């Protein structure tokens, strides 16, 4: 016995990329047709799955080579982070490890990092920034880094362009 079909086979006159909302062939009058192209089919298939983390900066091929495009965090991502951030007082190293995981996997820009830190209490956020600035100051004093603390750990958006090599390097140092 052959395995059961998961999808009905297409009739000879039915395109795999055109279907009505009711599932018919699109020939009935008055029905709004929804186009099913390879792109829309793939996009719609993603919306029916368990939500996955989105990458805020995703590298794509542009007309002049590779470029980074900002993809915002999903609400689910932010809610998950908020739950983790609540445990900062109880286990700061666990929260720090989760933050490092987000940075490594999702390549956030300065605004994304600010958004992530914004899910912590103001006191916790200031403590994290103070610790980072103290660490950078020690590196500047030890001549490991050059420049000012504000250059490496800015408190306001520095408008780093992730497609500019120097700006992206600054963004990476900031997140590290």
Report the CATH number that the domain containing residue 119 is assigned in CATH: 1.10.375.10
Domain contains 7: no
2-16 confidence digits (pLDDT tens): 443 333 343 344 333
Domain count for the chain: 1
The whole-angstrom distance between residue 83's C-alpha and the CA centroid of its chain comes to 17
Q: Is residue 68 part of a domain?
A: yes
Does residue 84 lie within any of the structural domains? Answer: yes
Mean pLDDT of 141-159: 93
Residues 6+ away with beta carbon under 8 Å from 149:
133, 136, 137, 140
Residue 72 has pLDDT above 50, yes or no: yes
135 versus 77: which is more confidently predicted? 135
The answer to whether residue 118 sits within a structural domain is yes
Query: pLDDT band for position 40 (50/70/90)?
Result: low
- Report pLDDT for 36: 59
Q: Is 70 in contact with 56 (CB distance < 8 Å)?
A: yes
Task: Determine, yes or no, domain membership for 43.
Answer: no
* Full-model pTM: 0.60
- Token pair for residue 79? 């809610």
Residue range of the domain that includes 87: 57-175
């Amino acid at each position: 016995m052959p395995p059961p079909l998961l999808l009905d086979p297409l009739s000879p006159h039915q395109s795999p990329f055109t279907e009505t909302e009711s599932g018919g062939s699109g020939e009935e009058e008055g029905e709004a047709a929804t186009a099913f192209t390879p792109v829309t089919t793939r996009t719609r298939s993603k919306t029916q799955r368990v939500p996955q983390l989105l990458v805020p900066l995703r590298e794509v091929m542009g007309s002049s080579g590779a470029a980074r495009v900002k993809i915002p965090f999903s609400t689910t991502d932010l809610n998950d982070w908020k739950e983790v951030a609540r445990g900062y007082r109880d286990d700061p190293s666990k929260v720090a490890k989760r933050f490092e995981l987000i940075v490594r996997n999702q390549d956030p820009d300065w605004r994304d990092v600010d958004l992530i830190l914004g899910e912590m209490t103001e006191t916790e956020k200031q403590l994290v920034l103070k610790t980072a600035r103290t660490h950078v100051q020690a590196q500047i004093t030890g001549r490991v880094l050059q420049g000012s603390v504000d250059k490496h750990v800015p408190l306001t958006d520095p408008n780093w362009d992730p497609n500019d090599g120097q700006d992206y390097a600054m963004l990476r140092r900031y997140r590290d």
